[in-house]
Amino acid sequence: MLNAVRGKSAGASAEVAAAGAAPAAPVKPALPPIPVKPPAAKDKKAAVGVDRRSFVAACFAPVVIGFSAMAATSLIWLLDLARFMFPNVLVEPPTAFKIGPPSDYPLGGVSTKWLAARGVWIVHTDQYKGRNLIYALASVCTHLGCTPNWLEGEQKYKCPCHGSGFYVNGINFEGPAPRPLERVGLKLAADGQLEVDKSVKFQEEMGQWEDSNSYVDGSLV
């Protein structure tokens, strides 16, 4: 093995020596003749320009068409999506609904009868500015929108999320809720029933509780 390697390297070095012994003088290759330009090539604008432009245009045409088509499709899509927001049929209970005669709601009571289905408490109280009123409070905490619980024993609405508490009349008094619960519309319908209208809201801090649409006189009972 060793011998073989040695022999090989010896042979190789002999070759190198042989090559070095005969230095070849570099031969300059003959230059090819300069081609004569065809007459058409001289007129660049006339010949090449047109070709190049049409080539570029040909390349871009599908891209432009493709992107326009995509833009158009997306636009139609978006419009469709917008249309989606206005369904033909709305399977929601109407915002106005009757809740029975005022006599169903005696003074000093908070009715949770409509809470599960409609998200309102019907309150009949004289705790707000000493007036005997019936009104409907939306069961949405004014802090972050959880549904508080009406605690009969403590006579308050208490929110399970961050502990806001509201008096029976809806005024906030504990926890982080910054403003009272909101009233929704309440009126005495022609047939003597109370009618809640959830499409309107009345905020105490805006002075909207003075609005006569936000309550019904409780002395009617």
- Sequence-distant (6+) residues with CB within 8 A of 132 are 107, 125, 126, 217, 218, 219
Q: Which of 176, 187, 197, 200 binds other proteins (CB under 8 A)?
A: 176
Tally of residues, the chain: 221
Q: How far does CA 195 lie from the centroid of its chain? A: 35
The span from the CA of 203 to the CA of 180, in Å, is 7
Burial of residue 195 (number of CB atoms within 10 Å: 0-12, 13-18, 19+): middle
Minimum CB–partner distance for residue 175 and other proteins (Å) = 6
3-state class of 144 per DSSP? coil
Minimum CB–partner distance for residue 99 and ligand FES (Å) = 25
How far lies 30's CA from each of 26, 27, 105, 128, in Å? 12, 9, 116, 113
**Contact flag: residue 93 with other proteins (CB under 8 A):** no
Q: Look at residue 119 and give the partner it binds from other proteins, ligand FES, none, a contact being a CB closer than 5 to 8 Å depending on partner kind.
A: other proteins
Q: Which of 83, 192, 205, 211 binds other proteins (CB under 8 A)?
A: 205
Q: Look at residue 158 and give the partner it binds from other proteins, ligand FES, none, a contact being a CB closer than 5 to 8 Å depending on partner kind.
A: other proteins
Site residues for ligand FES per CB under 6 A: 141, 143-146, 159, 161-164, 175-177
* Binding segment (CB under 8 A) for other proteins, from list 1-9, 64-72, 100-108, 201-209: 201-209
Minimum CB–partner distance for residue 69 and ligand FES (Å) = 48
- Number of other CB atoms surrounding residue 220 within 10 Å: 13
Q: Which of residues 120-139 bind other proteins (CB under 8 A)?
A: 139
Which CB atom, from 209 or from 215, has the smaller least distance to other proteins? 209
**Contact flag: residue 49 with other proteins (CB under 8 A):** no
